[in-house]
Every structure is written in structure tokens, then in C-alpha cells.
Structure 1
Amino acid sequence: MSSDPSAPAADARPASEAADASRTAEAQDLADRVNNRSHRPASPAFRDFVASGWDSSPLEDVAPLAAAEWTPARREAVSARFPGERLVVPAGALKVRSNDTDYRFRAHSSFLHLTGLENDSEPDALLVFEPREGSGHEVTLWFRPRAGADTEEFFSDARYGEYWVGARDDLASMTVRTGIATADSATALDAVTKDLGSVSVRVVRGADQTVEAQIDAAREQVAADLEASHAGDDELQQFLSELRLVKDAHEIDQLRHAIAITRRGFDRAVAALPAAPAHARGERLIETSFESAARLDGYGVGYDTIAASGDHACTLHWIRNDGRVHPGDLLLLDAGAEADSLYTADITRTLPVSGAFSPVQARIYDAVLAAADAAFAAAAAHTSRTVLFADVHAAAMEVIAQRLHDFGILPVSVDEALSEAGQQHRRWMVHGTSHHLGLDVHDCAQARREMYLEAELVPGMVFTIEPGLYFKRADLLVPEEFRGNGVRIEDDVLVTDDGVENLSADFPRTRAEVEAWVRELAGGA
């Protein structure tokens, strides 16, 4: 192979020059070596030229976010719960996916709930509640504002520079959007760690390790009890999680929007069924058909899509989606679109790939549907009696146990299975029937048991109802014709003054409706 004639030979340099070059390479900071792949201009002439001739007008058409009307009440509730204390709610930092590329940013849900920010806003930001003398808090959103073209960040910072990632808000425009006073985050850590000997500080942990470390270091300097401090941090996160248990009107509207996007994605997935069996990764074809709608109409998916065919439908969190789709299979599609506001839907439908359920598949499907109907009825009864969140699950389990008994599969009586000492029916449905839904697909996860499972249903709660039955191919305790079939039916439910509303009622749900759906969009597949 011939060499580049313009390149010097390896041994053409004097030994001393080669040694100097080697030492220079060794001295280069390891983190900076990523820049060896490209030529970054650094001359004074370039720096002067690149900083000139840019329109530096303030951002135009800045308007309050849709949530800005609702977030003051949320922040006021936090302020009232923790009087006299400094509260720090980080958005979180960018997370490296590989080498020098990051995952798409998604802020911590507590930060989103209290600021109303959307999409990929706002890495490294902090929402800080500073106690006022007397009562209440001054709330400030500390974030990294737009850097002018006369700064090096503008053209050289691939994470934050406007040349690389587009225009960012300045302090004034962010205040308009959120209704919150703003400050440059360059001095935020000093602001949140000052006077720790005289003011109590709580921070939401798990969002930004740098912020946590700085606060913990400041606590150690004043000889604070770290164990007690961390318990206080947990109490803040618990309250912020429980604050989302009852949704306001804006949140409910956003969930409706996410569900509407999800319906369009399901239609795309159903329409793709005929092509799936011919593809070596038919499950992934279904997955990507759904996710195209989620990304086109919303921010993306709220969680990893489950597109599970045949025996894979019996693996509860099957997200690999690399299997084949065979005629005669049931395909379980568990998917949810995330709106630009980052509220997510969570819907599951089980689809007959060939357009019709077999007799055994129909028996399984109808059993799961009956369990879901029983759960709906239990939730709706809150208008006439006290209904706990756990009662919804119990109602579904009564049906599941009875149907397994009717199938001849349950090894004990229904009553024994439903007892605390039994639970044999749970072999075929080990997950819960419901979870809260909102900014997180499993929303309010840090809430106390008495505020979650043991809580009374009240208007404004939004949760799923999602019973299932899963008969794994390797399960020798069920008849052979049941094996390899998994069914889940999942809807998103709003508790109302009059009962409950199925927010996903627009999705085909009964066996006949699902078969008609497949026939209409997939031509019978």
C-alpha cells in the first residue's frame, strides 16, 4: 500500500523532536483528547470574527407556559409545608450516553411539576425556596442563561453553546415563561450552601450528584448530622411525590393529550401487523411504528415500549423487542406517548396477529377483561362508600382467581388462594393492578403506603387498571394449549365526583372491538 506523499516519514524527524511530540501527547489532558478528532479554530482572528455580526436582539414572542397558571399553588403548598427552611429542587444534569454524547435531557419530575417547564429544559438548573423573614419563601429559578455571541461558550461549547444547540432563554424570557424570578446558575451552589449553620437545608436527592455533594460537604463543615439531614431530604421528596397524587385541571388536560397521541401510535402499530411476520424482528417493527407517532406528535415515549409476541408476552418487562411475530400469536403492546409537557400515557392492548382470537386465547382475554371491569366497578363505588386504592386490585384478583379455578388451573380453592396465606393465583399475575400516572409512568412512587395503597380514592386521582394473565411456555402446571399466551388490558382512569372516567375509552377494548380494529387497519393481518 502506498503512503501519502505529503506526509513525512515516521523516522524523518530528529530524535529530540519526536521525543518532544511524545511528551506533548502524554501531557494532554485525557478528557480533552476527544477534541483530537477535529480541527477547532483557535486563532485570535477567528475568535474576533466569529463573535461579530450576530443579531443579539432579545428573544421574541415569549409567552407564559401553559402550566404557569397552575404552578404557583403547587409552590405555595411546598412553602407552607416547610416554613423557615431552604429547599433545593434540582433539574438534574445531562447524562453521558457514550463517550462525548449525551442522552436527550429530561428534568426531574419534581422540578417539572413546580416550574411547568417542558421538553428538554433545563439541565443543571435549580429551583430554590429561600425562607423569608416572617413567613413564606422567595422562589428563584437558577439556570444557565443564553450566552452572547461575544462569549467563547457561544461557538465552542457543544453542550450549551447557541451555535451548537440553538437559542436558549435569557433571564428575562425565562421569568416570563415560568412566572418565577431567575438568576444565573454560575453562583447557585454558593447561594444554596451559605449560612448552613443557621438555616436548615433540604435537597431532592437523586437528581444532581454535584449539588448533593456540595450540600453534604457544607453540612459536614458545620458538623451537621448527615443521617438526620438525609432523612430530611427524603421527607421533602416524599412530600413532593404525594403532592402529585391528586391532579389539577392542567395535568388532566395534558394526560388526555398524551393519551390521544398514544391512540394514533396504536393505530400505526395495528396497521403494521401484516408486515410483522415477514420481518426477522417483527416485534421491533411494531415498536417503531408506535414510537414514530409518539415522537412526531409529542416529546417521545414515556417509557420503553413493550411489543411482545407469543411467549414474550409472558415476560412482564419485555423491552428487547427483537423477536419474530408469528401468525396466530397474541401480540401484547404496552406503550405510552409523552406529551411535550412530559406527562405520559400508559396503555396496553393485546392484539391477535391473524385478526381473530383462538378459542383458548378468547377464554384468557375474556377473563382478563372481566377482571378489569370488576376493578372499574370497585373504583366507581367511591361515590357511595369509602374505597381504598388497594380495593381496586382486590376486586380484580377475585375474578382472576375464580377464572383460574374455572380453567382447572388453580391448585386450591378460590378462597384459599385469595387468603394472605395462599396467593397461588398470583403465579399467573404477579404484578399489581394499578399505579398512579402523571409526569412519571409510575407516578408518586415516593409516597407513603398510607397515602398510596391505603389511601381513599378522591376526585383528581389518575391511575391505571391493568390486570393480566401470563402462561409461560415453560410452565408445566398449565394445560399445553394455554402455554405461550399472555394477555394484559390496561386503561388510564380518572376519579371524578360521579365515579370514574376511562380516559382511554377511545381504544377498542372488548374482544370483538379488538378483532374489528385489526381487520379494519391491518386487513385481518
Structure 2
Amino acid sequence: MTHERDVATGSSVSGGTPAAGGHPTGQAGAGEVGTPSEGVASSGGRSQRPSSRAFREFVASGWGPRPDVRPETGEGARRAVARREALSARFPGDRLVVPAGGLQVRSNDTDHRFRPHTAFAYLTGLGGDTEPDCVLVLEPVPGGSGGHEAVLFFRPRAGRDTEEFYADARYGELWVGRRASLAEVEAATGVHARHLDDLPDAVAKGLGEVVVRVVRDGDPAVTDRLDAERLTHDVDLETAVRLDDDLADAVSAQRCVKDDWEVEQLREAVAATVRGFEDIARSLPRAVAHARGERVIEGVFAARAREEGNGVGYEVIAASGEHACTLHWIRNDGEVRADDLVLVDAGVEADSLYTADVTRTLPVSGAFSEPQRRVYTAVLDAADAAFAATRPGATIREVHQAAMQVLAERLADWGLLPVDAATSLDPQEGGQHRRWMVHGTSHHLGLDVHDCARLARETYQGQALEAGMVFTIEPGLYFRTDDLLVPEELRGLGVRIEDDVLVTADGCENLSAALPREPDAVEAWLADVQGR
């Protein structure tokens, strides 16, 4: 059967799971082939392709043999075996469906760069721009003995004698390059692979007798298909098909403690991020000279991220001057002035999809002014207090409280609080110091920049820290230009210092320690990197 994606509609003609997103008319930048009078199939007059018998026969001929590739099973895939076994034990007898997700359309004719769903990447070890529309199914082993068989449903490359080869903008080799065979996917993952067209029957088999659990936000097309199957088989959604959050929550909880390979991936991401910050330091004179200097900073870091990894782990924050007081400033369209502080929050995402998350606040001139240094030192002291509180058995809440203690006392010393520090720190009657730092001090880090985020709030903040957990420490102070409660010399100053922290058996390790934090060390580092 020819598994052709209709270029005009973006739908799957083969009857398998519909593709999410995709090109309605083919990739941008590809010119039209032929004209209607030359025997072409037209898609609304926008994209045309030949369809004559002569063309089909000619395009299928004259190709050399494809290489026989048997990739080695990657380390991430080998680690995924134990992860699947742990998940299997959590849901004995249930069918578990974990989609990678589909492409998302951008600007009508192109797709955003693909990134698989985090749960899928974690349970397969597949990262980067791994083929969209894959679905991992953990099928319960029959006979009640427990355990699951892992099956990866995947759309393999089509033969060169098919229309898909030259005409399908989603899957065709002439459009997206050489794609893997089922055998190659099995070799890379160590998981049995089947054609994606088999997925609907596989997940609907025995529906009503076996509970099917789905990572609901993995791929809307998959959840819609399962809902349709439920209606076809006249079974109750609540008892037979669980489109709830239990499965995704369980995978999120599993990721809290990283193994040694995951930690190594994070180390690599942090090391590349450090080099990206060095690029930023060298770019500061050019940023000052540019009308949109923040874009200069963003651009040089993004280049490093693409050269050494999969890309940025999140949108770069390059916030100069008062923009640093907007916590998620990603517009990055402002100028960078010589007397500014510039707050840069950025992280390289490795090819394995593990990401760093580091923030440094740099004096553009190379030296902190007295008010800048005063605020910076307060934030650094708060971060150091949070580091001192980080150890096995402590909680993220306690780490946060240690940082807040320092900031509240410093703000009280500066005369900015309407109450004393102790009153401001009271959880019921206080909180005034949080006016200048409304965010939390820490979040888990891993495959997602805010990893394990599906944990319940109380669990997230109150669970005991364990060796192998990785999270951020990132206090800050932000004094907006229109804040009349702070002295004028502090208005427009925003400072955040963020490091990536590994909990060890007896304390913690700062994974991003290669980037200086002390103000004198920051100034010396800038001078050294810039060759001054």
C-alpha cells in the first residue's frame, strides 16, 4: 500500500493515525514543478507536482541502493529499559500509550522544528529531532504474569516507487531526507518496531477489557483516535480509556532523581552554556553599538547552542537595564547601554534534550557601580545561603526560605520594608519583601527546563531532597523604574544569579561554578574574555 500524505489537505490517506500539523502545500522555498498543462496535480494553485505515468516511472528509476545501516543502541535508549520497567510496575495490566507528538505548522507552509514529548524521550532515549508521530506502547504481557512489552509504532521510509517518495512533504525522502527503516529504529532503540498504520488496531484491541492510559498532551491526534475507538466499541471512557494525568504524572515523578548518565548530559549542557556566556562577554561591545543590542546577545548564544547541542533549552532572556525587571523578557529588542547591567538567562539543550539553565547579571562597562554592586551582593548572599541549605533531607521550600531570609533582612536594612524582616517573613501576616522577588528560588532541571513540573505543589516543594536531584538556585531583586518605594539610584536595576545544582550524598555541587559569581571575579572574567 502506498502511504501517501495528501499535500493539499495535510491528512493521512492510508487510514492510520492522522498527522498533527504538517504542510498543507509543501515546504516553503520549494518551487512549483511543471504547470497544469504538463500533467500535474494542483493544490489550490499554490503547489503543483507532476502526476503523469511517464514521470512516476522516471522518478522511480536510476537510484543506487540505500546503505545497510544498523545503528548501535544509544546509551539513553539502554537507560530507558529500567525506566520502562519502573513505569510497568506502577501500572500492572494497563496498556500505556506515550506519543512523541507531531509537527506544528508555522506560517502556513513550514513546520516548527520538532522536539518529542518529554515523557516519550525519557522512556525511549530518543532525542534531537527524532521522527514525529511515533508512539510508544507498553503492552501488558498476557497471562497475568506482570510486566509489559514495549512496541514503538513508527512510519518507516517508503520505497522510491511510491508517490510518498517524491510528493509527500511530511514524509517524502525528497522533502525531508533519508528516513529510517523499522529495522534501523529497532537497532537504535532496542524496542520492537511496527508500522504506524498498525497503531489504531493495537491500542483498541480488547478495549473494555484492558485499561488504556494515554499521555493526554502528547499528541491530540492519538487521543482523538482513542476517543473515537471508545465510541465505536461502546465502552466507558472513564473506566476503559484514561485520558487523564496519572501516566504523565508518574513519568514526571520518576525523573526527579537523575542517574549518572543523566548528570553527565547536564554537565555537557552546562559546559556548552559556559562557552555561550563567554561568547556573550566578547559580544558586549558590538551589542552596545547596535540599535537592538539585546538581539546581538541572544543571537551569539543561540549560535553556540545550535553548534554544540540541539539548540536553546528555552527562549533566551537578554534583558538590559530596566528590561531585567521583567522576569520573562524574551522580546530582546532593546539597546544595551554601557552603564547598564544586562541580565542573561540562557541554557544550551544537549542533543539528548537535557538542558542547562544559567543566569548571570553582567556590568556592560566591565565594572559594577556602587548601587549595582550593592544589589548584586545581596542577591549573591541569598544564593549562597540557599546553597548552604541544600543537602539530602532538606526541601526546596527550605532552600527558598534560606534565600528569602537574606533578602528580607537586606531590604529591611535599606529601609525599604514597612515592617521588620521577621514580620515580613511571617507566612501569614508578611510577604512584603516578595514585592521585589515574586518568583521561587528553585525548580527541578533535566529534560525540561522546569522538569518534573507535574508533581503536586506540596510534593514539589516539600519532598526530601535526594542525591541525584538537580535543580536551580536563582534568587533575584528587581526594582522597576516606576517603583516609588525604592530610592532613585536603585530604580531600573534587576539582578538574578542562577546556578544548576546537583544534590550529593553530603551536600551539593554547583554544576555551573565555572562561570564566576563574585562581583570582583565577574569583573576580572569580563576583562580576561574581552582581552582587556
The equivalent position to 2:190 in structure 1, one of 172, 179, 200, is 179
Residue 62 (structure 1) shift = 1.4
Contact 1:329–1:354 (8 Å) recurs in 2: yes
The equivalent position to 2:116 in structure 1, one of 95, 107, 118, is 107
Aligned to 1:122: 131
TM-score (norm 2): 0.90
- For the pair 1:48 / 2:62, whether they are aligned, the reply is no
Residue 233 (structure 1) shift = 2.7
Aligned to 1:512: 520
- For the pair 1:311 / 2:322, whether they are aligned, the reply is yes
Aligned to 2:361: 350
Post-superposition Cα deviations, 1:412-445, rounded to whole Å, max 9, x if no partner, equal 1111110112111110000000000001000011
Residue 94 (structure 1) shift = 0.5
Aligned to 1:470: 478
- For the pair 1:413 / 2:420, whether they are aligned, the reply is yes
State the distance in 1 between where 2:421 and 2:226 align.
54
Residue 450 (structure 1) shift = 4.3
Aligned to 1:442: 450
Aligned to 1:256: 267
Aligned to 2:301: 290
Query: Alignment partner of 1:142: what SS?
Result: strand
- For the pair 1:147 / 2:180, whether they are aligned, the reply is no
The size of the alignment, in residue pairs, is 493
State the distance in 1 between where 2:311 and 2:516 align.
23
- For the pair 1:392 / 2:372, whether they are aligned, the reply is no
Q: What percent identity do the matched residue pairs reach?
A: 59
- For the pair 1:498 / 2:506, whether they are aligned, the reply is yes
State the distance in 1 between where 2:480 and 2:531 align.
29
Query: Which structure has the highest helix share of the two?
Result: 1
The equivalent position to 1:427 in structure 2, one of 430, 435, 441, is 435
Contact 2:208–2:240 (8 Å) recurs in 1: no
Residue 298 (structure 1) shift = 0.7
Contact 1:329–1:352 (8 Å) recurs in 2: yes
Letter paired with 2:264? D
Residue 60 (structure 1) shift = 2.4
Contact 2:210–2:240 (8 Å) recurs in 1: no
Aligned to 2:409: 402
- For the pair 1:487 / 2:495, whether they are aligned, the reply is yes
Letter paired with 1:458? E
State the distance in 2 between where 1:323 and 1:86 align.
51
Letter paired with 2:123? L
Residue 505 (structure 1) shift = 0.9
Matches within 5 A, 1:319-334: 319-334=330-345
CA, structure 1 residues 228+408, in 2 after alignment: closer, same or farther (shift >3 Å)?
A: farther
State the distance in 2 between where 1:287 and 1:35 align.
39
Query: Alignment partner of 1:36: what SS?
Result: coil
Residue 221 (structure 1) shift = 4.2
Contact 1:59–1:169 (8 Å) recurs in 2: no
Query: Alignment partner of 1:453: what SS?
Result: helix
Contact 2:213–2:242 (8 Å) recurs in 1: no
Contact 1:193–1:214 (8 Å) recurs in 2: no
State the distance in 1 between where 2:203 and 2:524 align.
59
State the distance in 2 between where 1:182 and 1:433 align.
43
The equivalent position to 1:98 in structure 2, one of 104, 107, 112, is 107
Matches within 5 A, 1:52-67: 52-60=61-69, 62-67=71-76
Aligned to 1:235: 246
Aligned to 1:451: 459
Letter paired with 2:453? A
State the distance in 1 between where 2:416 and 2:531 align.
35
Contact 1:274–1:522 (8 Å) recurs in 2: no
Post-superposition Cα deviations, 1:360-417, rounded to whole Å, max 9, x if no partner, equal 000000000000000000003x3xxx31121110100000101111111111111111
CA, structure 1 residues 301+180, in 2 after alignment: closer, same or farther (shift >3 Å)?
A: same
The equivalent position to 1:74 in structure 2, one of 54, 75, 83, is 83
- For the pair 1:278 / 2:286, whether they are aligned, the reply is no
State the distance in 2 between where 1:435 and 1:523 align.
36
TM-score (norm 1): 0.91
The equivalent position to 1:198 in structure 2, one of 202, 209, 213, is 209
**Runs of 5+ in structure 2 lacking a partner?**
1-7, 11-23, 26-41
CA, structure 1 residues 35+170, in 2 after alignment: closer, same or farther (shift >3 Å)?
A: farther
Post-superposition Cα deviations, 1:286-336, rounded to whole Å, max 9, x if no partner, equal 110111100111110000000000000000000000001111100000000
Residue 53 (structure 1) shift = 2.1
State the distance in 2 between where 1:81 and 1:516 align.
52
State the distance in 2 between where 1:362 and 1:409 align.
17
Post-superposition Cα deviations, 1:35-71, rounded to whole Å, max 9, x if no partner, equal 6234422221111111112233354251111212211
CA, structure 1 residues 229+364, in 2 after alignment: closer, same or farther (shift >3 Å)?
A: farther
Post-superposition Cα deviations, 1:452-479, rounded to whole Å, max 9, x if no partner, equal 1110010110000000000000111101
Contact 1:65–1:177 (8 Å) recurs in 2: yes
Query: Alignment partner of 1:355: what SS?
Result: coil
Moved more, 144-153 or 93-102: 144-153
Letter paired with 2:53? P
**Runs of 5+ in structure 1 lacking a partner?**
1-27
State the distance in 1 between where 2:240 and 2:292 align.
50
